[in-house]
């Protein structure tokens, strides 16, 4: 019983931690787009699309998928520098 309670508590806490990480990633993407946007229009469009998708997933409560999508956007931005 203790293990079940500990597992559930950990799962709930980790979900809320993921939720707080999404806005930080979105802010980082926004800052990179503002300070040093990619010169390739296709990369810029893809980053913007991924960022919007990540925000939608975050608002829908799917934080793990949101982090994956936002991570892809960050990798694209960092690769274009």
Q: pTM for this one?
A: 0.75
* DSSP character at residue 80: T
**Nearest C-alpha neighbor of 30 from the set 7, 61, 4, 52:** 52
pLDDT over threshold 70, residue 14: no
Q: In this predicted model, what pLDDT tens digit does every residue of 28-74 receive, in sequence order? A: 999 999 998 999 999 999 999 999 999 999 999 888 899 899 999 99
Which tokens hold the place of 9?
């508590």
């Amino acid at each position: 019983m203790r293990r079940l309670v500990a597992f559930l508590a950990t799962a709930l806490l980790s979900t809320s931690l993921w939720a707080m990480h999404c806005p930080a990633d979105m802010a980082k993407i926004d800052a990179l787009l503002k300070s040093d946007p990619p010169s390739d229009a296709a990369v810029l469009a893809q980053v913007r699309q991924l960022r919007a998708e990540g925000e939608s997933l975050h608002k829908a409560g799917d934080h793990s998928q949101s982090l994956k999508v936002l991570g892809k956007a960050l990798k694209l931005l960092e690769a274009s520098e």
